[in-house]
């Protein structure tokens, strides 16, 4: 049996797992990320927590094929530098140099949203599909694209930032400094912002779940905001369909927990918004199946299954 080591690096936690060839997680380990410490210390812990998962599985390093790491950043294929990891305040870090020799395994780093999409394609809601679009609707909008069974991350690994494509010309301000990005309309943060703008509530007192719940009992402002949110999300997804024609679209993140209350009207609006929908149809849209494990499983298989 072959085993694969996956690590999901977030600003709060380092979560790791050993995954077998059949995509089962057979052991886990995690520790606090300890943001604010040196790169050396944090990368040491990335290795340490990963070693713990191998120990927990009762395996030796020799049983493992590879070490895959998902991070909220990307490694520029030309410079081999980790471009930025805002959660740690890192910029242009030679991450592979730091990791070298820490574990006796080939290591590969990918953007965490790409790992999640890959995990869902290999073992989750998109299993069996080779062309997959995944959007994670959370604090921001993360995007992952699987083309012909592989992660597509743009030339030099620097693209596929789907959340920052333009949806509304000169529209709402986005966290990235641009205006009108998909993220500024389709993140949970955006949903909350629009709802609070309508109701005068404080953003700290509201979350996406509450808004969908209010809409389900026909609260007027919530209905309006949710309907508008779904319209914008559908318009954004429609562009990705027009470009990629994925076989399936996966939605993850907090907003996707609304389930059919989100998905049923979204599917209808996709029919309305998508180029050629009446001729070619629209791909199915489903909820992510693996939760946070998607990123772990996707990371584990970065070194090829």
Contact criterion met (CB below 8 Å) for 82 and 109:
yes
Residue 290 beta carbon to its own copies: minimum distance, rounded to whole angstroms: 22
What is the C-alpha to C-alpha distance for residues 291 and 273, in angstroms, rounded to an integer?
28
Among 88, 189, 232, 301, interactor with its own copies by CB under 8 A: 232
Q: Does 225 bind its own copies (CB under 8 A)?
A: no
Q: Which of residues 117-146 bind its own copies (CB under 8 A)?
A: 130-131
Crossing angle of helices 188-199 and 220-244, in 10° steps, is 150
* DSSP 8-state symbol, 258: G
H helix or E strand, kind and range, residue 46 = helix 39-56
Contact criterion met (CB below 8 Å) for 32 and 13:
yes
Q: Does 81 bind its own copies (CB under 8 A)?
A: no
Q: Does 161 bind its own copies (CB under 8 A)?
A: yes
Closest Cα partner for 54 from 166, 93, 253, 62? 62
The runs of H, that is alpha helices, within 245-285 are 260-273, 277-280
Instruction: Please identify, among the stretches 35-43, 160-168, 208-216, 288-296, the one whose residues bind its own copies according to the rule CB under 8 A.
Output: 160-168
Q: Does 286 bind its own copies (CB under 8 A)?
A: no
Closest Cα partner for 143 from 156, 162, 124? 162
Q: How many residues bind its own copies (CB under 8 A)?
A: 45
Q: Does 236 bind its own copies (CB under 8 A)?
A: yes
Buried/exposed code over 100-126 (b: 16+ C-beta within 10 A; e: otherwise): eebbebebbbbbbbbbbbbbbbbbbbb
Contact criterion met (CB below 8 Å) for 255 and 129:
no
Among 119, 124, 246, 252, interactor with its own copies by CB under 8 A: 246
Crossing angle of helices 208-216 and 220-244, in 10° steps, is 110
Q: Does 245 bind its own copies (CB under 8 A)?
A: yes
Residue 246 beta carbon to its own copies: minimum distance, rounded to whole angstroms: 6
- Residue closer to its own copies by CB (options 232, 293) is 232
Backbone phi, psi, residue 48, to 5°: -65, -45
Instruction: Please identify, among the stretches 9-17, 33-41, 165-173, 260-268, the one whose residues bind its own copies according to the rule CB under 8 A.
Output: 165-173
- Residue closer to its own copies by CB (options 180, 253) is 180
Q: Does 32 bind its own copies (CB under 8 A)?
A: no
- Residue closer to its own copies by CB (options 52, 168) is 168
- Residue closer to its own copies by CB (options 123, 133) is 133
Q: Does 167 bind its own copies (CB under 8 A)?
A: yes
H helix or E strand, kind and range, residue 98 = helix 95-99
Angle, CA of 125, 15 and 51, to the nearest 5°: 120
Among 35, 52, 168, 210, interactor with its own copies by CB under 8 A: 168
- Residue closer to its own copies by CB (options 116, 235) is 235
Backbone phi, psi, residue 214, to 5°: -60, -40
- Residue closer to its own copies by CB (options 183, 293) is 183
Instruction: Please identify, among the stretches 60-68, 152-160, 215-223, 286-294, the one whose residues bind its own copies according to the rule CB under 8 A.
Output: 152-160
Closest Cα partner for 108 from 70, 61, 153, 79? 70
Instruction: Please identify, among the stretches 55-63, 172-180, 197-205, 262-270, the one whose residues bind its own copies according to the rule CB under 8 A.
Output: 172-180
Positions touching its own copies (CB under 8 A) are 83-84, 130-131, 147, 152, 154-156, 158-162, 164-171, 176, 178, 180-181, 231-232, 235-236, 238-239, 241-247, 273-276, 279-280
């Amino acid at each position: 049996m072959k085993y694969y080591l996956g690590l999901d690096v977030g600003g709060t936690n380092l979560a790791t797992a050993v995954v077998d060839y059949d995509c089962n997680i057979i052991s886990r380990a995690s520790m606090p990320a300890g943001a604010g410490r040196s790169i050396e210390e944090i990368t040491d812990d990335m290795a340490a927590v990963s070693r713990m998962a191998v120990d927990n599985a009762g395996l030796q390093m020799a049983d493992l094929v590879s070490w895959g790491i998902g991070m909220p950043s990307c490694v520029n294929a030309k410079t081999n530098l980790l471009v930025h990891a805002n959660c740690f305040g890192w910029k242009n870090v030679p991450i592979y140099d730091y990791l070298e020799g820490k574990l006796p395994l080939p290591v590969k780093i990918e953007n965490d949203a790409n790992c999640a999409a890959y995990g869902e394609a290999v073992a989750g809601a998109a299993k069996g599909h080779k062309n997959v679009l995944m959007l994670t609707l959370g604090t921001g909008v993360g995007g992952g694209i699987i083309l012909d069974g592989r992660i597509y991350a743009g030339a030099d690994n620097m693209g596929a930032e789907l959340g920052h494509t333009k949806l509304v010309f000169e529209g709402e301000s986005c966290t990235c400094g641009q205006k009108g990005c998909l993220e500024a309309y389709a993140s949970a943060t955006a949903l909350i912002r629009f709802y609070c703008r309508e109701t005068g509530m404080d953003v700290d007192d509201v979350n996406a779940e509450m808004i969908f719940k209010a809409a389900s009992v026909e609260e007027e402002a919530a209905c309006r905001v949710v309907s508008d949110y779904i319209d914008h999300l559908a318009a954004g997804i429609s562009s990705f369909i027009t470009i990629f024609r994925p076989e399936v679209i996966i939605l993850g993140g907090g907003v996707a927990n609304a389930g059919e209350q989100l998905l049923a009207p979204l599917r209808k609006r996709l029919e309305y918004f998508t180029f050629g929908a009446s001729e070619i149809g629209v791909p199915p849209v489903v909820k992510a199946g693996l939760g946070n494990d998607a990123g772990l499983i996707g990371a584990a298989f970065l070194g090829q299954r």
